[in-house]
Structure 1
Amino acid sequence: GESGYVASEGFPNLYPPNKECIWTITVPEGQTVSLSFRVFDLELHPACRYDALEVFAGSGTSGKRLGRFCGTFRPAPLVAPGNQVTLKMTADEGTGGRGFLLWYSGRATLGNDAPTVTCPKQYRRTGTLQSNFCASDLVVTATVKSMVRGPGEGLTVTVSLIGVYKNGRLDLPSPPTGTSLKFYVPCRQYPPMKKGINYLIMGQMDEKRGPILPPESFVVVYRPNQDQVLTNLSNRKCLSQPVRAW
């Protein structure tokens, strides 16, 4: 497909023991496969000997291995060299975790290195506020100040911060009120935003572009009564810590 989610068996509950599962993802010819992990929670071992997720270029596990992962740190975004990538997850007889949830999409690199994704025909916001909070790198409330086309086919959206509940490892002041922050929005229409409106924004951190709002990002109109809920969520430990290991 052009884009979508892949999850381990049983997700969001614990994955079963003594399993080997393989997925092959194929996007249109002329594109590369981009993987962005939303949740990652596998049994931890320094060498990932017990449970592990391996990523291979191409169709099957004979291609170049792009990574081998375990534990609760989400892998950095991956871009395969071609239009196919294979995932292989193995679990031993012991108790594991919740597994993984990732978003894949086709990507073409333009001259200015702005990623092109396949944009959906309509915006579908999935999951709850809590599940999206745990799956996001960056959670802020902010006012949209400007929306400028580019780089590439996307938008650069500049916001003025009201509050910060997850900082995505950015060095943001406290309190952040009035601080400007720029998001790259690959799909101009999704998530839908308008200049001058206050939003609750849950985004990701891309290793090249910085703050980014993929088309499935959780973005809603901000209301002050959300502050207490967000504060409670920020003080609560997620089952899988949304921290990238660059």
Structure 2
Amino acid sequence: MRGAGAWAALCLLLAAAAAQPSRPQPPERPVFTCGGILTGESGFIGSEGFPGVYPPNSKCTWKITVPEGKVVVLNFRFIDLESDNLCRYDFVDVYNGHSNGQRIGRFCGTFRPGALVSSGNKMMVQMISDANTAGNGFMAMFSAAEPNERGDQYCGGLLERPSGSFKTPNWPDRDYPAGVTCVWHIVAPKNQLIELKFEKFDVERDNYCRYDYVAVFNGREINDAERIGKYCGDSPPAPIVSERNELLIQFLSDLSLTADGFIGHYKFRPKKLPATTAPPITTTFPMTTSLKPTVALCQQKCRRTGTLESNYCSSNFVLAGTIITTIPRGGSLHATVSIINIYKEGNLAIQQAGKNMSAKVVVVCKQCPLLRRGLNYIIMGQVGEDGRGKIMPNSFIMMFKTKNQKLLDVLKNKQC
């Protein structure tokens, strides 16, 4: 039935395009190939063979160029790729420009993002599939727009002035629309950082920010290893200071509930402030700033203390899970854990896609304790201000085995 939906979407577009005052001609079915070079005011791109099932083990790249002085607006009309909560297998990447330097977004499954807008007159779309495919692929339409006259339905762009503001579409007159994707890329001079503050904030509330959210990243692309935080609800995030001279802000709304939205402000500042004005490390800073390991800390013996029972009560969170990604970053390790079972949630940020749940943890000293991808662990620890688990050299970590399940269930029902 998924193929029928893809074909229906294609037929509707073709019928609209073929409507002429004179005698109508039957629409020709376009042939979508793997990638291409596209220029002009508008056009369509689609996965190879769309609306048929896309082929396995492929990498297709489309480079789009609209007239000089305009920006590219990309609207997905249909998307049906293999679903995965981290989009690891089959996915579509969208980039500013014709290289993979700045990714605007990565998409898979059947979630159809809102309009994606480039900061210049070039955009690149890349689809990658692995050995096992599942779905009819995608179809999208691109069009040219004036950079400053894109209307309320669009948002995002390149921000290079020393200070400025950014806001959701329709702010402050009415709620932001459903199905919107906005990406603001802020670039300061090389020797400066970026301070970010939200003045008003109201985004659909969810415990795990699964539906509508704002995500802020160090650098120039959407990359989980560089994510400072993910926010929703009606409480403004604490002020943020970038680690480098670039910051990326992503806003996404799904196709259901909406809310007032937000307005935020940014300004550039020197990398080093005088000691008298340097703010303390508090919740206003990204977690990665306070997690930079010291030599003394990481020279400690890697030895957990206490027992499973004694650590249960002293930990913010307790879970059993499989390590699915590990990314070294400086002296620490950023890992994603696919949750088998959660016994104590605390304020740990948990992401959910269908029945799959995952969480982010940071091992402050990357070799201590050592987490290996693909293995199952019981993990206990504290939680940083951005909702990530914080694993210290003496945190309680052990291999998870079925026999541990009974004891953990007892501890879960026991009052600390």
- Give the TM-score normalised by structure 1: 0.47
Greater per-residue strand proportion: 1
Identify the structure with bigger relative contact order (alpha carbons < 8 Å, sequence gap 6+). Answer: 1
Q: Which has the larger radius of gyration?
A: 2
Greater per-residue helix proportion: 2
- Give the TM-score normalised by structure 2: 0.29
